[in-house]
């Protein structure tokens, strides 16, 4: 007897993305090998690297502690906002792509869910 195949629902797609975001190992774009960090870790590291963009503007060693703290606070706020917005946009784009594929290929074999 053949199992009935149905396309994943939007709810299933969103749940899979949420589950895999922090779990699935990121693959190096050159070697294709897993790096050991989940996608979330690499995404946060990449966005976090933006914090150093002002290093050539200010001599952090000569800033007062209050000035350093305020600069860091402002940059973190800006980066955190963008990180959250872009992660949301990435997820929405992936959901749209998965729904389009599901509509085009409703009988495509489904992966067995890994616990």
Task: Please state the domain count of the chain.
Answer: 1
Residue 24 covered by a domain: yes
Angle, CA of 77, 22 and 95, to the nearest 5° = 85
Residue 78 covered by a domain: yes
State both tokens at 19: 């589950």
Residue 89 covered by a domain: yes
State both tokens at 57: 């503007």
Residue-wise pLDDT for 1-56, tens only, equals 445 578 889 999 988 888 877 666 666 667 767 666 666 666 666 666 766 777 77
State both tokens at 58: 């200010």
State both tokens at 99: 């729904």
Residue 78's domain spans which residues?
10-104
Residue-wise pLDDT for 10-23, tens only, equals 999 988 888 877 66
Helical (H) or strand (E) element with 26: strand 25-27
Residue 115 covered by a domain: no
């Amino acid at each position: 007897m053949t199992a009935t195949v149905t396309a994943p629902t939007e709810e299933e797609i969103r749940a899979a993305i949420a589950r895999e975001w922090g779990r699935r190992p990121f693959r190096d774009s050159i070697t294709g090998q897993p790096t050991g960090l989940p996608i979330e870790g690499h995404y946060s590291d990449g966005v976090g690297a933006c914090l150093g963009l002002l290093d050539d503007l200010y001599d952090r060693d000569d800033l007062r502690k209050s000035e350093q703290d305020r600069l860091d606070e402002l940059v973190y706020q800006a980066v955190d906002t963008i990180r959250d917005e872009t992660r949301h946009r990435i997820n929405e784009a992936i959901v749209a792509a998965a729904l389009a594929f599901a509509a085009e290929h409703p009988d495509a074999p489904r992966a067995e869910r890994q616990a």
